[in-house]
Amino acid sequence: MDKTTSPKEGLRQRNVGKDGQPTQTTGDETVKSEQLVNAAAEREKKKSSIIQRTIIGILMGGFFWFLILGTNHIVISLFVVVLQVIVFKEVIGVRYREAKEKELWGFRTIHWLLFFASLFYFYGDLFFHKSRRLFDFKTMDDLHRNHLAISFLLYITAFTGFVVSLKKGLYKYQISQVAWTIMTLLVFVVQSTVMLANIFNGLIWFMLPVCLIICNDIMAYVFGMSFGKRWIKKPLTSLSPNKSWEGFIGAFFSTILFAFFLSWALSRFEWFACPKEIYTQKEIFEFGINSVSCTPHQVFNYAEYSLPSQIVHVLSLIGINKTTVTLVPIQLHAIVFALFASLIAPFGGFFASAMKRAYGIKDFGTLFPGHGGMTDRMDCQFLMGLFVYVYYAILIRPAAVDYGSIVYGISQLSVDDQLRLWQQLGKTLGKL
């Protein structure tokens, strides 16, 4: 064979057939054969990845539902705090290798101190308020009154420690490192702190948005795998080139439908609908869906709504004479949540994708095989939880104060002020 020729020029190569006799194959056939082998290997790898993702996803879902149905609000809240710790560790770890190579003194200590200062500041009031019946000693009241001062002390300690650690020639680098930590706290930690408030406002305000994000993520994957780039070739975003418009649109309508029915199902259980005011020493050991009861908020009671005239007209054309519909108001709120979960919350994922691309990493961690780290699973949840918290505070929350906060406020008054309040309350009730 001429050494200057190539398979692409159509020259024949000698191979051995099944009968042991030489056979002739062209270079093009060899290339096609290799392509078929590679395609088969790629399909097998993809199939294995889907199976792995499915198994891990089922295990994660099972554990999550066990946590929700089999524990109580305090355990669920502690679980959220653990998630925050893991997420902070993963995101900070993206740049820790650089810091370690620079041998910066106290890098981790300072940044973890900033993290715990943030947790104490945002969770302090909520913790002291919800758990004040658990402890009958003066120390808890002192910690509550000095919560802001302790938070400030933790922050000042971290700040001065950072300034002391500055090393000549590395000022710009170190400032960029602490800026990364502050960004991590704002985007991944501060946003997720409101999830605890959502939990105690009623588990539905925590469970529903979490399930909507999971539904949107799964359906985007399903529709993307089935119909991705079949009609619209352009990717949804350059940050995530594998995401398709078909997946986005399919997930959009699926999430709205899912939200409508899931919100109704969850609202039928007091465990999800009822808020949890204060825990006593007895209640902290009560687990399961029967440990909470209340008079449900009006958003969980059936109400009749008038249908728009256009819908009434369409229904009349098919022989349905209906002008009203009976729904649970939470179902309409859930549609708003679904719109946010489909249109806005994914930007949390896009932001996380941009971070990973900037540092050349595939995932933030390897905690969940096939799924990445905790941050990869929670990137959209943080933004979603913040939206539900704001939405609830503006449109649903019944009052700025509750029974528990009033009782606690009275307990902090002097004896004379308590007597004056008692007399005023008697005069007010006497007029009824």
Residues 145 and 222 in one domain: no
Rounded alpha-carbon distances, angstroms, from residue 13 to 3, 31, 36, 288: 12, 12, 19, 72
Residues 189 and 207 in one domain: no
Residues 330 and 213 in one domain: yes
Burial (CB < 10 A; 0-12, 13-18, 19+), residue 395, is exposed
Residues 327 and 187 in one domain: no
Length of the chain: 432
In 3D, which of 270, 261, 344 has the Cα closest to residue 300?
270
User: Is 317:237 a contact under the CB 8 Å cutoff?
Assistant: no
Residues 247 and 387 in one domain: yes
Q: Domain boundary residue among 193, 224, 240? A: 193
What b/e readout covers 151-189, taking b as 16+ CB neighbours within 10 angstroms? beebbeebeebbeebeeeebeeebeebbebbeebbebbb
Residues 226 and 304 in one domain: yes
Residues 309 and 402 in one domain: yes
User: Binning pLDDT at 50, 70 and 90, where does residue 9 land?
Assistant: very low
Residues 293 and 234 in one domain: yes
Residues 299 and 215 in one domain: yes
Range of the domain at 121: 71-193
User: Which has the higher per-residue pLDDT, 97 or 311?
Assistant: 311
Asked whether the predicted pLDDT for residue 23 surpasses 70, the reply is no
Give me the mean pLDDT over the 196-218 stretch. Answer: 90
**Residue 100 pLDDT:** 62
**Residue 46 pLDDT:** 65
Asked whether the predicted pLDDT for residue 199 surpasses 70, the reply is yes
Both tokens of 388, joined, read 């539900």
Model-level pTM?
0.77
User: Is 342:216 a contact under the CB 8 Å cutoff?
Assistant: yes
**Residue 352 pLDDT:** 85
**Residue 68 pLDDT:** 85
Residues 188 and 303 in one domain: no
**Residue 387 pLDDT:** 94
In a domain? residue 18 = no
Residues 187 and 215 in one domain: no
Please state the domain count of the chain: 2
In a domain? residue 30 = no
Give me the mean pLDDT over the 405-424 stretch. Answer: 79
Give me the mean pLDDT over the 318-324 stretch. Answer: 85
* Max mean pLDDT range (130-144, 172-186, 321-335): 321-335
Q: Domain boundary residue among 193, 212, 243? A: 193
Residues 289 and 400 in one domain: yes
Tell me which amino acid residue 344 is. Answer: I
**Residue 431 pLDDT:** 64
Give me the mean pLDDT over the 149-156 stretch. Answer: 90
In 3D, which of 41, 12, 40, 11 has the Cα closest to residue 24?
12
**Residue 282 pLDDT:** 64
Give long-range contacts, CB 8 A cutoff, 24+ apart: 70-76.
70/287, 70/288, 71/287, 71/288, 72/283, 72/284, 72/286, 72/287, 72/288, 72/291, 73/199, 73/200, 73/203, 73/276, 73/279, 74/130, 74/279, 74/284, 75/287, 76/199, 76/203, 76/206
Q: Domain boundary residue among 193, 220, 247? A: 193
